[in-house]
Amino acid sequence: MWAKKHLLYTEATRHPFILSIRDGSVDLSSFKRWLGQDYVFVREFVPFVASVLIKASKKSDDGNDMEVILGGLASLNDEIAWFKSEASKWDVPLSNTVVHKANQNYSRFLENLMLPEVDYAVAITAFWAIEAVYQESFAHCLEDDSKTPSELQDTCQRWGNEGFGEYCRSLQKIANRCLEKASSDVLTKAEVTFLRVLEHEVEFWNMSHGCA
């Protein structure tokens, strides 16, 4: 299980699409496809994060969780505004987007995680994993030896910046605290959910890269 997790985590955070941004060979039509589809994703992601906030308000034994998750919602508000301005810069229409199968599947997965019977520990683990994949992926494109094109620096900064990294570490701490106290049944569900997130992230990159 650990080896599978490790392999999938690397696949999700070092995907050929991300590596193509990092080495400057990215196909701009792939980038534009990602932009349009990710805007749709983020709009679906907001209600999921709101559902995690509701679970935190009912189930968390630490008052600080709410502030961290609220911070996440605030950053998604900025993310939506950023997508709108970036889409107009790249001439990507955001209305009437044909939602790709990988995006639809991811959205269905999030909807299932929003159900009240899903444990807080499972939902917060998914939330952390979703944000962490973007953080690690885009931070990789900002490293000193990267050749990320200047017009994509802003995109990489959006998720690769240190502040976003700090926020992901706060989510990870909450998830770890919840998992330490979880039953073995919840622990298994959290592990399976974590792997599903990684699979969906890989599928999402595949779709953007044009290999799906």
Ligand X SMILES: Cc1ncc(CN)c(N)n1
- Contact positions with ligand X (CB under 6 A) in 55-114: none
Query: Could you say whether residue 39 binds ligand X (CB under 6 A)?
Result: no
Q: Which stretch binds ligand X (CB under 6 A): 23-31, 35-43, 61-69, 142-150?
A: 35-43
Q: Which stretch binds ligand X (CB under 6 A): 1-9, 37-45, 51-59, 184-192?
A: 37-45
With both helix axes pointing from N to C terminus, report the angle between 162-180 and 184-209 in degrees, rounded to the nearest 10. Answer: 150
Q: Which of 42, 87, 179, 195 binds ligand X (CB under 6 A)?
A: 42
Q: Which of 38, 65, 119, 136 binds ligand X (CB under 6 A)?
A: 38
Cβ atoms of 158 and 148 closer than 8 Å: no
| Comparison of 119 and 131: residue with beta carbon closer to ligand X | 131
Task: Please enumerate in sequence order all residues whose Cβ is within 8 A of that of 41, keeping only pairs 6 or more positions apart, or say none.
Answer: 103, 106, 107, 204
Query: What tokens were used for 113?
Result: 């995680």
Query: Could you say whether residue 131 binds ligand X (CB under 6 A)?
Result: yes
Q: For residue 91, which phi and psi values (nearest 5 degrees)? A: 60, 40
Query: With b meaning 16 or more CB within 10 Å and e meaning fewer, what string describes 144-179?
Result: eebebeeebeebbebbbeeebeebbebbbebbebbb
Q: How many CB atoms lie within 10 A of CB 72?
A: 24
Tell whether residue 136 is among the known ligand binding residues.
Answer: no
- Tell me the C-alpha distance between 206 and 186, whole Å: 30
Residue 201 annotated among the catalytic residues of the structure: yes
Catalytic choice (86, 136, 201, 203): 201
Q: Which of 130, 156, 175, 198 binds ligand X (CB under 6 A)?
A: 130
Query: 18 to each of 46, 83, 150, 152, 201, how far by Cα in Å?
Result: 24, 18, 15, 11, 12
Query: What tokens were used for 84?
Result: 């709108």
- Return the residue nearest ligand X (CB atom): 134
| Comparison of 122 and 130: residue with beta carbon closer to ligand X | 130
Tell whether residue 38 is among the known ligand binding residues.
Answer: yes
Q: Count interface residues toward ligand X (CB under 6 A).
A: 7
Tell whether residue 131 is among the known ligand binding residues.
Answer: yes
Enumerate the known binding-site residues for substrate. Answer: 38, 79, 131
Q: What does the binding site for ligand X look like in residue numbers (CB under 6 A)?
A: 38, 41-42, 130-131, 134, 204
Where in the sequence numbering do the catalytic residues fall?
A: 201
